[in-house]
Amino acid sequence: MSRALAELGEFTRLVGEAIVSLRRQRPTWSEWIHQLYLIGVKSQSVVITTGAATGMVLCAQTFIQFHKVKMDTATGAVVSVGMCSELGPTLAALMLTARVGASMAAELGTMKVTEQVDALRTLATHPVDYLVVPRFLASLLAAPLLTAEAVLVGILASWLVGVHLLGIDSAYYLANMNKHTDPQDVIVGLIKATYFGGMIAMISCFKGLNCVGGAEGVGRATTEAVVACSITVLVSNFFLTLLLNAIFSH
């Protein structure tokens, strides 16, 4: 328990240091763009695949249940609202955790155990300025963009399955989808995605920078980063849903 509290304190210090860095230091744009490429561009295939698969299975499952009560044309609305506000941001964040979070923790962990982080410090460079902030900013921007992409692909895939495979009338499918999907659903999803993106970067960097030992330590840091990010995404999603619904319902 005391170890967990100490770790939480250290994590809060890292977040505080990142805020100080954002306020005082000029961002390293070249590093930021490099990270944006690694996190955003390189994650597209996995996020698109996840979005499409989720949209298709959600459409099929919803259709099977709704067909029993003759509500076939409401399938599009369920898929759209579900993808925009819940499944899109959550699944994209879990995919980012697996692909980007693990990579960040392993890279920074390796730098830590091979004294590259100490070398940075002797070269008058704060590790948070050079390593954490560019990853945090890139993740903050990439996560909502990737989520929007996953949601769009998911909805398109669900339309293809619903209309061309399951025989739902396209006009009704789209009309119900438009009628029941509010801009609020999209905004809630994007806010969640931004939060998840920031948390994934910070947690992964924290685990990497606090890595101890050799190869075993790097492996442990990577595993801990993936577990901590996944749990953070899933648990905070519940509270964010309540909070954002409370905010937008007023």
Partner 1 sequence: MEVADVHKRFGPQPVLRGTSFLIQAGEAVVIIGRSGGGKSILLKHLVGLLLPDSGQVRVFEQDLATMGERELLKVRRRFGMLFQMAALFDSLTVYENVGFVLRRERKHTEGEIRRLVAEALEMVDLPGIEHKMPSELSGGMRKRVGLARAIVYRPEIILYDEPTTGLDPIAASVIDALIRRVWRHLHVTSIAVTHDMKSARAISDRVLMLHEGCIYAQGSTAELLESTDPIISDFVNGVDNELAPDKTP
Residues that bind partner 1 (CB under 8 A): 20, 28, 110-111, 114-116, 118-119, 121-126, 130
Nearest approach in angstroms of CB 34 to partner 1 is 9
Taking the least distance from each CB to partner 1, the nearer of 49 and 114 is 114
Nearest approach in angstroms of CB 5 to partner 1 is 19
Taking the least distance from each CB to partner 1, the nearer of 125 and 223 is 125
Nearest approach in angstroms of CB 61 to partner 1 is 44
Taking the least distance from each CB to partner 1, the nearer of 5 and 124 is 124
What does the alpha-carbon distance between residue 109 and residue 107 come to, in Å, rounded to a whole number?
5
Nearest approach in angstroms of CB 111 to partner 1 is 8
CA 161 and chain centroid, separation: 26
Residue 169: what are its φ and ψ, rounded to 5°? -70, 125
Nearest approach in angstroms of CB 158 to partner 1 is 40
Taking the least distance from each CB to partner 1, the nearer of 129 and 149 is 129
Nearest approach in angstroms of CB 10 to partner 1 is 14
Q: Which amino acid is at 201?
A: A
Residues 6+ apart with CB under 8 A from 213: 113, 220
Taking the least distance from each CB to partner 1, the nearer of 26 and 68 is 26
Taking the least distance from each CB to partner 1, the nearer of 111 and 190 is 111
